[in-house]
Amino acid sequence: MHVPRGSLRALGAAVAAGALLAAASTAHADVPPQRSAGVPGPPTLNPQPEPPGVLRDARAATRFSLTIDGVEIASFSELAGISPGDPAARNPRTVALKRGKNNAMEILAWPQSVVEGQPAAARKSCTLVMYAADGTPVARYHLESAWPAKIEIGGLKAGASEILYETVTVAFDDIQRLDA
């Protein structure tokens, strides 16, 4: 049986590439292997179809910012989670953001209208942006009719060298994912 020379070369390259992928996936078991364009992967949470040949990787965020009326009012190191709320019980959706306590007062000025008896004035449209290590935005969310539901200062022992953390829980009526 005669096999064309180019076919054997292509087969050899494919086998070598498969061996490299297998070796890479065992060397870094916690990192998902790369897929070739056109090869279906596991289902994703993104319902929009991707253009052919485009793969979406999980994004790591090193900083989160909260912006109201185009002004960044706070920067956070941790997003503790986005809660879906309970519409039947009329519980709002929430997002908890955590940062080392600092002297910035902008986030504390936001709930002041609630303290002054004007809770409707505290409801703002705001943007939550997640940034990569190089400062590039990797995800952006629009929070509609958001307000500061809770601001907590973590515990601290006298004489300890721990960081004092502040957790801000923002409640909102609706959330939309935007282009980064």
Distant-in-sequence contacts of 166-169, Cβ < 8 A, 24+ apart? 166/98, 166/99, 166/100, 166/101, 167/80, 167/96, 167/97, 167/98, 168/66, 168/74, 168/76, 168/96, 168/97, 168/98, 168/99, 168/107, 169/94, 169/95, 169/96, 169/97
Instruction: Provide the pLDDT for residue 130.
Output: 92
pLDDT at position 4 over 70: no
Top pLDDT among 10 and 67 is at 67
Q: What is the mean pLDDT of the chain?
A: 73
**Is residue 21 very low, low, confident or very high in pLDDT (cuts 50, 70, 90)?**
very low
Percent of the chain having pLDDT more than 90?
22
Q: How far is CA 137 from CA 52, 134, 163, 167, 178, in A?
A: 24, 9, 26, 22, 11
More confident residue, 2 or 152: 152
The mean per-residue pLDDT over the stretch 112-135 comes to 87
Indicate whether this model's pTM tops 0.85.
Answer: no
Residues 6+ apart with CB under 8 A from 67: 73, 126, 127, 128, 129
Residue 39 has pLDDT above 60, yes or no: no
> CA nearest 80: which of 68, 58, 64?
64
- pLDDT value, residue 60: 74
Domain ranges of the chain: 1-34, 63-178
Q: Domain 63-178: which CATH class?
A: mainly beta
Say yes or no to pLDDT of 23 above 90: no
Nearest-5° Cα angle at 176, 173 to 180? 140
Measured between alpha carbons, how far is 92 from 172 in angstroms, rounded to an integer?
Answer: 6
* Span of 68-77, 88-97, 128-137, 168-177 with lowest mean pLDDT: 88-97
Number of separate helices (H) and strands (E) present in the chain = 4, 8
